[in-house]
Amino acid sequence: MSESITAVLVRAAEFTASGKPRQAIDLLRPALVANPLHAEAWCRLAAAHLDAGEPDPALDAAKRALVLDGDQAWAQRLAALSLSELGRQSEAVVAARESVRRKPTDWRCQVVLSEVLAADPTTRAEAVDVAHHATRLAPTEARAFQVLGDAALRARNWGTAERAYRTALRLDPTDDDIRANLATVRRKRGGGAAGAPTATSGPLPEEVLNAAHAIAWQVASRVAALLVSGGLLLLFAGMPRPTPLLGWFSGLLVLGTLALVGRTVLFARKTQRLALYRVTRHRPKLATVTVLFAVTLLLLTAWTTALFLGATTMQPLVFAWIISLVAGSVVVLVGQGKPRR
């Protein structure tokens, strides 16, 4: 059984690394039913849930790992990240500090502590110091310098932020987020006091974009399920000839989808709301899915209107359902993209 769970962990890590956290979750859950005392598997599950934008189950999995005999520093890091995404910042800081206490030489613990400290304006100076320490522990890790840049950006320390992002980009030239943040820092540094970072101008820090991406992808999954299943029901109900009555149900499907998206935007925090508007510029897969769903809603709206005017065609509905099915397939098969753990 040990070989079996080891193989599962390797495959789950590969899924997470390739941006497919949902597949990792589906693989780990049955393995944990058979191996409920395997701490590393619970940590892997928590990390996958975080990358899928699900902090609640991530926190539950991290807590299970904490009571087992495993890597307590890793479990504390995962708990800290989950608590931070849930808005429980004071608890997140406690968990992050505990992870550092358990493994003071692990740069990843320092990075997580810096991330959660940077969320509070009163501890941003400390966040920069902690991130500096992480870069000394891991001078070849782009992520450590990226987090230093993020913390310095929030603290309006333009010089430190620019140097950190330049180093991170040198270590990882393919990261577009680092490149965008470096451009932001250079612009704001050149503008002096007038270039102070605001929530309404310039590219947003990576952690904000990552959080918005996770939220948007989770909503995209729900929209896909709603449009694919609802469209299929309309196809069956409209055969062989749709009636104006069917337009009411089609209209409810459109309104329900808009309400789902609107509720997410309405209840998001101010910074997250702005990031949700901008995240498609940085995430082409999410942008593609968004366009496909928008076309689906436009076709459904046009078909609903046509039904009320006496039309009896099914073609717009067929096209809308096919497009929503394609978008849903992208959501399921592609996953969120770059993992963060």
Q: Which of 135, 76, 149 is nearest to 107 (CA)?
A: 135
pLDDT of residue 211: 66
pLDDT value of position 209: 61
What pLDDT score was predicted for residue 227? 93
pLDDT score of 248? 93
pLDDT value at residue 200:
43
| Whole-number Å distance between alpha carbons of 215 and 226 | 17
Consecutive 10-residue runs of the chain (341 residues): their mean pLDDT?
75 88 92 92 93 93 93 94 92 95 95 93 92 94 94 91 92 89 84 41 55 79 92 90 90 92 74 68 82 94 92 91 92 59 51
Contact 168, 146 (CB under 8 A): yes
User: Which is it for the CA torsion 106, 109, 113, 116, positive or negative?
Assistant: positive
Query: What integer pLDDT is reported at residue 240 of this predicted model?
Result: 84
260 vs 265: CA distance, rounded Å: 9
| pLDDT for residue 318 | 92
Pair of tokens at residue 33: 């039913």
Eight-class DSSP state of 1 = -
Q: Which domains does the chain have, with CATH numbers?
A: 1-103 (1.25.40.10), 106-203 (1.25.40.10), 206-334 (no CATH)
Closest by CA position to 168, among listed 193, 201, 145: 145
Give the dihedral sign, CA 285/224/277/177.
negative
pLDDT at 273 (0 to 100):
66
Distance from chain centroid for Cα 190: 31
- The identity of residue 319, as a single letter, is F
Residue 192's pLDDT is 42
For residue 243, which phi and psi values (nearest 5 degrees)? -120, 165
